[in-house]
Amino acid sequence: MTDSSALDPEDRKIVTLARSARARNAVPEGAAVRDDTGRTYVAGTVDLPSLKLSALRTAVAMAVASGAASLEAAAVVTDAEAVPAEDLAAVADL
């Protein structure tokens, strides 16, 4: 866990967006990513019978679908002790 007060304003912004997505949608986790142009993509956990995605994977998918070439930053707000390696790999892929 990172203390958001130690982050620069742009990084604090994506933490706030991730926290807001989690609260607004009452989902287990919220995530936000920022692409290389400064655009942000915010998502919550997707838990449908036919589709299950973590918040981070959903945010990455939204960035990819919008044409992002790379990511500058990512934030996840969750009660889990760690972000799964598969989620981190999705960020690294972009």
Q: pLDDT for 56-73, tens place per residue?
A: 999 999 999 999 999 999
Terminal C-alpha separation, the chain: 23
Residue 1 is predicted with a pLDDT of 52
Residue 7 is predicted with a pLDDT of 81
Give pTM, 2 decimals.
0.89
- Mean pLDDT in residue range 77-89: 94
- Domains of the chain are 4-93 (3.40.140.10)
